[in-house]
Amino acid sequence: MRGACGLNYREPTRSKELAVALEAATAAAAISRRYYRGNLTVTTKEDRTPVTQADVECENEIRRIILDAFPQHGFLGEETGHTRSGASSQWLVDPIDGTKSFIRQYPFFSTQICLMRDGELLLGVSSGTLFDELAWAEKGHGAWLNGSRIHVSDISDPARATLSTGNLRSLASGSGWEALRSIVVSSDRIRGYGDFYHYHLLASGRIEAVIESDVNILDIAALAVIVTEAGGIFTDLNGAPPGLQTRSVLAANSLLHGRYLEALRGFVP
C-alpha cells in the first residue's frame, strides 16, 4: 500500500490567495485555542445550532484578513453571512466547524476556508487546531499536510478498507439504510471520526472512504478540494459534485468510490 503521507515532494510556490487563506487559518487557530476550555458564552441560532464568541471572533478575523487582501471578493461565513454575493470569487468559511465538539471539549473541530470562483472550488485550507494538522490544496498543485505531500491509499478491496461515517442519525433515517448496511458489513473497519478529521485521514491514505449526511457546503468545501487534489473522488451520495446545495458526502479513493456509489445510488438521506 502506498504510504501516502509524508512523501518527499517540494511544495509548490503558494499563490497569494493560498498564502492569505493560511494566514487567516493560523490567526483563527490562535483565537480558538484561547477560548478552548475557557468560559464560553453559548447562544442558539435560529436553526437551533449553537454559536460562541469564539466562532464570531474567528470569523471576523478571517473576514478582515481576506477582504483586506481581496476587497472585491465575496465572503460567505457561517456566522456573519454573505458579503458581495454577486462577485465571481467567493470565500466559503466555517470559522469553527464542529462548534458542539468545541463546547464539550472534544478536539474534533476545525477552521475551514475555501475559495470558489465562478462556481468552481479552487482552494481549500483545513486547520485541525488541537491536532496540529494544517491541510491545504490548490487545484492542480496537489494536497499537503503540515508541509508534506499527501495522497489517498491504493486499497481496492472493500474487505481491506476502513470507512468512517458521520451523522449516523440522519443516515439511518434515509431511504438507503439497507444499502449503507451492505457497505458496512463488507468493510474491514468502521469508524466515526466525524467533522474534518476523517477527511484528513482519507486524503493522507489512512482510511479509504467517508460517508455522511446533514452537511452544508461550508463544512466540506475546503475538504473537497483537499481530497480531490490528493487523488480521491468527492461527491454527494448520488454522485453529484459538491456545490452550494450539497447536503451529503461520499468521498473515497478512486478505486472504491464507484463501487460504493453503485451500492448507494438512490439513497435519499
Q: Span 149-159, mean pLDDT?
A: 98
How many CA atoms does the CB half-sphere of 109 hold within 13 Å? Answer: 23
Cα–Cα distance, 168 to 162 (Å, whole number): 16
pLDDT at 268: 67
Phi and psi based region of residue 6 (left: phi greater than 0; alpha: psi -120 to 50; beta: remaining): left
Cα–Cα distance, 40 to 85 (Å, whole number): 31
Dihedral angle over CA of 43, 47, 48, 53, nearest 10: -20
Contact of 137 with 229, CB cutoff 8 Å: yes
**CB burial readout 35-63, b (16+ within 10 A) else e:** bbeeeeeeeeeeeeeebbebbbbbbbbbb
The CATH topology of domain 158-264 is: D-Maltodextrin-Binding Protein; domain 2 (3.40.190)
Cell of 42: 453559548
> Residue 45 — very low, low, confident or very high, per pLDDT cuts 50/70/90?
confident
Contact of 28 with 127, CB cutoff 8 Å: yes
In DSSP terms, 111 is beta-bridged to 127
157 Cα distance to chain centroid: 25
178-211 pLDDT, tens digit per residue, is 888 889 999 999 999 889 999 999 999 999 999 9
> Residue 5 — very low, low, confident or very high, per pLDDT cuts 50/70/90?
low
Q: Span 108-136, mean pLDDT?
A: 97
pLDDT at 1: 46
pLDDT at 39: 73
Neighbours of 131 (CB within 10 A): 14
90-119 pLDDT, tens digit per residue, is 999 999 998 888 898 989 999 999 999 999
Domain ranges of the chain: 16-150, 158-264
Q: Span 43-56, mean pLDDT?
A: 84
Neighbours of 78 (CB within 10 A): 23
Superfamily of domain 16-150: Fructose-1,6-Bisphosphatase, subunit A, domain 1 (3.30.540.10)
pLDDT > 90? residue 33: yes
56-73 pLDDT, tens digit per residue, is 999 999 999 999 999 999
pLDDT at 230: 98
Look-up of cell digits 487582501: 69
**How much is the pTM?**
0.93
What 3-state DSSP class applies to 96? strand
Report strand pairing: 110-117 vs 89-97. antiparallel
Phi, psi dihedral angles at 100 (to 5 degrees): -65, -40
Phi, psi dihedral angles at 93 (to 5 degrees): -135, 130
